Chains A and B, each alone.
Chain A
Amino acid sequence: MRRRPLRHLTFALGGAVTVTLLATAALSLVYTPQDPLAMAIASRLEGPTRAHPFGTDQYGRDVLSRVMTGAVTSIAVGVIAVGIGAAAGIFLGLASGWAGGWVDEGFMRLVDAVQGFPAILSALLFTAVFAPGMAVSMVAIGIAFVPAFARLTRGSVLELRDREFVVAARALGAGDRRLIARHILPNTAAPLIVQATTSFPVAILAEAALAYLGLGTQPPYPSWGLMLKEAQNFLGMNPWFAIFPGGAIAATVLGLNLLGDGLRDLLDPKTV
């Protein structure tokens, strides 16, 4: 049965939110209603007005423009963190599943150990020795994704390595490298794509949390988490300042989660 992505409500809704996020981020690179870094102390902590639809922050900066620019930070950190987690996890999973024996045992214990380091903990450790910033966020979040990608890849390799088409290719003279690149990896792609899609919103949440704690993106660059940290001191004076960046995170993560769920439904034959 052929499934039509746009007829799938969850996928369509998630896709619409994701496209909006990407369009907003792309637009913010060439246009924002105001300069996101320009201060105007006279109009600080204003609620929503026609000039500032999302209000202003404690320095009078336009919150809408900063929320738009913050989307770029979230996407950049999300993409690179998922990339780091996927690359390291797929390598570990392939090596572990293909080699088997003590290599498998050793790598899996390493993966278990890495699972003990959620993004916040890795970021704490890295920030103790490096300056906090987006790079620390990307690496810390990426490391937290390694176990999921590694386990998924290893599971697929274990399942595939003794299948007939792999045995046949080996009998025809294919070496390890060719077997992995041409026969194993393409057959593990679907679950890995779903894993990457579902990891992306988690990365956005983690980036915001690290920026909130002062371990990630640093001022004056806009990050949704950083904006919430700044807003916390002015909750009584201008609650909108906390509501819009938080709403942006929640809407983005909701959209990406829906997209991930929809993609899983569309790619998983069991849901037909």
Chain B
Amino acid sequence: MRGYILRRVAACVATLLFVSVLVFLVVRVLPGDPALVILGPESSREAADRLREAMGLNRPLVVQYAEWLGGAARGDLGRSIQYDVPVGRLIVSRLPVTLPLTALAAAFMLLGAVPLGVFAATRHRRAGDYAAMIFSQLGISIPQFWSGLLLILLFSVHLGWVSAGGFDGWAAGLWPGIRALLLPAVALGFFQTAVLVRATRSAVLDVLREDYVRTARAKGVAEPCVVGKHTLRNAMIPIVTVAGIQLGQLIAGSIILESVFALPGLGRLALGAITARDLPVVQGVSLFVASTIVVINFVVDVAYGFLDPRIRYD
């Protein structure tokens, strides 16, 4: 198992390096001159020269990358042009919105999708299965931001139960904070739930056809035990794979939902930074989000090793 984990760690580090190269290349190389992107095309030549010098853009690209990567590894992602504070501190200040939103949506996804997928599989080609599949098809067809708007329309505009958006912070109390994140989390989790229901159903159906499940039933094992112990555990690999991918998608989706519900999270920080041409913030948020997704994929890979011993010896 140690060898398997070490191999995965090495792959994860290599992937993170590629992520950093991609972020660096897009921001520093593609536009030609980041100084002009920040100052705008109407800026004077002298101002652009001064900024280029201050940002170290006159040095060789490899040196710039090594310095930027070294800083990023220490948590130093540069300084925001718009707010004049370290980018790392800005990102950390937005996490109390983005992380709970993602966690709530993930909880909705897992608590909704896995039982519903198992329910559909155990009622294959019966009414319950068709109902679950219709729910799933609808769920993956409705864009997250539209379901967010429909939830606002119903619960805020018509019923007046909650505000249409905004977040007053956790200082106001746990419940007001959760209440502000509830609708966006439902909208965010609904789409991912629909995807995971299909994956769970399909994985459980595959295992239900296995000989050992038939044997367990023939031996008189109770159905909840057949499904819970013999089936679900063996169906976990594809379920964990899809759930891991979905978790990454939830982080990306939170950028949209933060915009719909005016939540001051990472997504709004990045979108505001684009308007303000605050390249260090865009670069920092992109690196943070992409690295988080890569690390989630790494954790999923390691989880395989625990769930299925055969994978460790491949």
- How many Å lie between the Cα of A235 and that of B142 in the bound state? 18
Contact (Cβ within 8 A) A121 B18:
no
**Complex Cα distance A128/B274, Å?**
5
User: Is B57 close to A, CB under 8 A?
Assistant: no
Name the residue of chain B whose CB is nearest to the CB of A143: B22
Interface window among B88-96, B213-221, B278-286: B278-286
Q: State the interface size on chain A (CB cutoff 8 A).
A: 43
Interface segment among A36-44, A65-73, A206-214: the answer is A206-214
Residue of A nearest to B255 (CB): A120
In the complex, the answer to whether A254 meets B137 with C-beta atoms within 8 Å is yes
B248 at the interface (CB under 8 A from A): yes
| Interface locus among A47-55, A82-90, A108-116, A178-186 | A108-116
Q: With A129-B31, A235-B152, A253-B140 in contact, is A124–B145 under 8 Å at CB?
A: no
Contact pick for B252, options A120, A214, A228, A239, CB 8 Å: A120
Q: B143 interface residue, CB < 8 Å from A? A: yes
Residue B131 at the A interface, CB < 8 A? no
Task: Report B-chain residues with C-beta under 8 Å of the C-beta of A114.
Answer: 22
Q: Are B143 and A246 in contact (CB under 8 A)?
A: yes
Q: Contact at A124–B18, with CB atoms within 8 Å?
A: no
Residue in A120, A235, A251 whose CB lies within 8 Å of B157: A235
Interface contact tally, CB-CB below 8 A: 148
Expressed in whole angstroms, the minimum distance between the Cβ of A80 and any Cβ of chain B is 19
Are A250 and B146 interface neighbours, CB within 8 A?
Answer: yes
Task: Compute how far the CA of A113 lies from the CA of B293 in the bound complex, rounded to whole angstroms.
Answer: 9
Query: Complex Cα distance A44/B137, Å?
Result: 35
Q: Which residue of chain B lies nearest to A205 when distances are taken between CB atoms in the complex?
A: B143
Q: Which residues from A are CB-within-8-Å of B294? A: 112-113, 115-116
Counting CB contacts under 8 A, is B273 at the interface? yes
Query: Please, what's the 1-or-0 string for A102-128, where 1 marks a CB less than 8 Å from any CB in chain B?
Result: 000000011011111111110011111
Beyond contacts A115-B294, A253-B143: 9 other A-B pairs, Cβ-Cβ < 8 A, are: A114-B22, A115-B248, A117-B19, A124-B282, A125-B282, A128-B27, A212-B256, A231-B149, A257-B140
Which A residues are within 8 Å of any B CB, using their own CB? 109-110, 112-121, 124-130, 201, 205, 208-209, 212-215, 225, 228, 231-232, 235-236, 239, 242, 246, 249-251, 253-254, 257-258
Residues of B within 8 A of A (CB): 11, 14-16, 18-19, 21-23, 26-27, 30-31, 34, 37, 137-138, 140-146, 149-150, 152-153, 157, 164, 248-249, 252-253, 255-256, 259-260, 270-271, 273-274, 277, 279, 282-283, 285-286, 289-291, 293-294, 297
The 4 closest A-B pairs by CB, nearest first: A113-B18, A116-B290, A118-B252, A129-B31
- Some 21 contacts from A to B, beta carbons below 8 A apart, are A109-B11, A112-B297, A113-B18, A115-B248, A116-B291, A118-B248, A118-B252, A120-B253, A120-B256, A121-B289, A124-B282, A128-B37, A129-B37, A208-B145, A215-B274, A232-B149, A242-B146, A242-B153, A249-B143, A250-B142, A253-B143
